[in-house]
Amino acid sequence: MSKKQEDPKVLSPYQIDKFSKIPPGIKIGFLKFWTGGAVFMLAFATLMPNFDSLDRYVMLVLLLTIAGEYLIQNVIKMMNNDRKPTLQYLQYRTDKRYLSIWLSLLYQFIVVLVIFLLTEWVIGPYHLSIDSLLFGKSNSIGPFTFGILYFLIDYLWINLRNIVILAQHKNKK
């Protein structure tokens, strides 16, 4: 009896490394979307109802700082290898821990401010959020919309930063 040879292009459901075929940008993008939505849900849905919305936004910025610093940044650094480099997806590059925390706090504050302004000026008056379409909520933003906006703003920031870094390297040469 001869052994049946398997096609190497077909993924086996029992293969240990099933997720290695997914590009790292998609995995990191989903992580950022999910983290943004989960932190929004944690900050806005679990706090007591007597909290002011400003308190909720401060809590949101602090939780996003912690999640960005200790979850997202560490996962991106752990995923980095020679075959698939992922350091280009970092929000900023620094090796100094104290500077990194302050940069993360500033970055998350700016992202939440931009999302708040988009919500007030664009999404709120026209009810263009995914949450209002899916669940019929009267409020203008929810975890899905916040997660997508968080991912999109982060994506724009990373692409602009990479373009600037690439231009600096071309000017040096």
Helix (DSSP H) and strand (DSSP E) numbers for the chain: 7, 0
User: For the segment 119-165, what is each residue's pLDDT rounded down to a tens digit?
Assistant: 888 766 666 666 666 666 655 678 888 899 999 999 999 999 889 88
> Is the pLDDT at 4 greater than 70, yes or no?
no
Distance CA 35, CA 39 (A): 6
Q: What is the pTM of this model?
A: 0.80
Q: What are the Cα distances from residue 163, in Å, to 157, 158, 159, 169?
A: 10, 9, 6, 10
Q: What's the token pair of residue 4?
A: 């049946």
Max Cα-Cα span within the chain = 74
